[in-house]
Amino acid sequence: MFIFGADKSEYVPVDSVAIPHDRQLPIANEYGHYTTADEIVKGMDLTGKNVVITSGYAGTGLVTTKALAGAGARVICLARDLKRAAGNLKGIPNVEIEYLDLLKPDTIDAAAEKILARNIPIHILINHAGIIATPLTRDDRGYEYQFSTNMLDHFQLTARLFPALAQANGARVINVASRGHRECGVNFDDIHYKFSEYVPMKAYGQSKTGLILFTVRLDEMAQKYNIRSFAVHPGPIPSSDIFAASRVNIGSDFQVSFLRFTAKFMRNTNFTALENAIRRPKNVGDIWKNVQQGAATSVWAAVSDNLDGLGGVYVEDCNIAVVVPNGSAAPFGVRPWALDKESAERLWKTCEEMIGVTFTIE
């Protein structure tokens, strides 16, 4: 939980640091930092919409699944822990579960093949699963865990599901990023920390910057198929299950269970509001959210009419974020290194090489 200590930056008014940008332009709407996912879908009818979400069975992912399914969408939840997913999703209508472990590329392909075999359009793909601040760990390919889980394997999943996204003729891809991207850009010379000193939060920041760059490039290339993409900062959410998920196969079973218990306790009490009262953060961007509030921006990006005709942008607090300088500690806004089109193109090619798949959109 140390990640969510009070932000070290002084209070900085947005207008004093925002950098003009041609796409990152906030819009007028009724939502904000405290909006919940249920408030976003209130009165909506999503019947006939098909949603695919990774890790949509815990924390903010579970809230996202409930909101979309409750509004009538069919949600296919991709899960590595089928038993836990079945328990958490029990009783929620319109939800199906398929096995997928992002650290096992063959399961990505297998899940995608099962979905494509249904010959149904995918209207919304939410790349939600993620881990944070793990010790230096590598997958079977030798790739650093955080970049592999948060970025690379979602790139592979999106590539595999692209035909179904194109079939929707109006799909959206939601990449759940983070304000953690402010830590750094992508180190193309040593993405997997073969030579550099490994700093867990730097590696996390790199993976989330990568997701935003992927969003920028995907949106640029896929518009011809009426597919738009959005990168989402859900907010600081101490009651999320991401901390427990980050220790699966790394920490002990006791540690994972304890982190899950702690997160559940915070969700079932008024802990988040109490801690905000104690901390008294200086900027709205550093006010902790509960999981209902944390899921709101992903749901908004997935279904809001406010974003019709838009894409390739980073959103937070149910709005398009302003751009702030690289190196800024402000707890809001997107950094220019995450929007750079040359870096986005380079990352795309790098990911193709890493997974051995050409993701060509013609």
The domain spans of the chain are 2-355
- Point out the catalytic residue in the list 143, 204, 225, 314: 204
Question: Which pLDDT tens digits describe the chain residue by residue (362 residues)?
Answer: 334 444 444 455 665 678 889 899 999 999 999 999 999 999 999 999 999 999 999 999 999 999 999 999 999 999 999 999 999 999 999 999 999 999 899 999 999 999 999 999 999 999 999 999 999 999 989 999 999 999 999 999 999 999 999 999 999 999 999 999 999 999 999 999 999 999 999 999 999 999 999 999 999 999 999 999 999 999 999 889 888 888 888 889 899 898 888 888 888 888 898 888 998 888 888 899 999 999 999 999 999 999 999 999 999 999 999 999 998 888 899 999 999 999 999 999 999 999 998 998 87
The pLDDT value given to residue 361: 82
User: Which pairing describes strands 227-233 and 313-316: parallel, antiparallel, or unpaired?
Assistant: parallel
Output the 3-class SS for the chain. CHHHCCCCCCCCCHHHHCECCCCCCCCCCCCCCCCCHHHHHCCCCCCCCEEEEECCCCHHHHHHHHHHHHCCCEEEEEECCHHHHHHHHCCCCCEEEEECCCCCHHHHHHHHHHHHHCCCCCCEEEECCCCCCCCCCECCCCCEHHHHHHHHHHHHHHHHHHHHHHHHCCEEEEEECCHHHHHCCCCCCCCCCCCCCCCHHHHHHHHHHHHHHHHHHHHHHHHHHCEEEEEEECCCCCCCCHHHHCCCCCCCHHHHHHHHHHHHHHHHCCHHHHHHHHHCCCCHHHCCCCHHHHHHHHHHHHHCHHHCCCCCEEEECCEECCECCCCCCCCCCECHHHCCHHHHHHHHHHHHHHHCCCCCCC
**pLDDT at residue 2, as a whole number:** 34
Q: Which CATH architecture best describes the domain 2-355?
A: 3-Layer(aba) Sandwich (3.40)
The CA–CA distances, whole Å, from 87 to 97, 256, 259, 265, 323 equal 11, 17, 18, 18, 41
pLDDT at 283: 85
In the residue annotation, 225 being an active-site residue is answered as no
Minimal CA–CA distance to 312: which of 166, 211, 180, 178?
211
Structure tokens given for 204: 């996390």
Q: Which of 279, 245, 319 is nearest to 62 (CA)?
A: 245
Q: Output the pLDDT for position 10.
A: 46
Q: How far apart are the first and last CA of the chain?
A: 44
Q: What is the pLDDT of residue 4?
A: 42
CB neighbours of residue 237 within 10 Å: 23
pLDDT at 7 (0 to 100): 47
Distances (CA, A) of 218 to 93, 141, 157, 298: 31, 25, 13, 17
pLDDT tens track for 327-354: 888 889 999 999 999 999 999 999 999 9
Which phi and psi angles does 319 have, rounded to 5°?
-160, 165
Separation CA 162–CA 181 (nearest Å): 26
What does the pLDDT read at residue 108? 96
How many angstroms separate the CA atoms of 145 and 132, rounded? 10
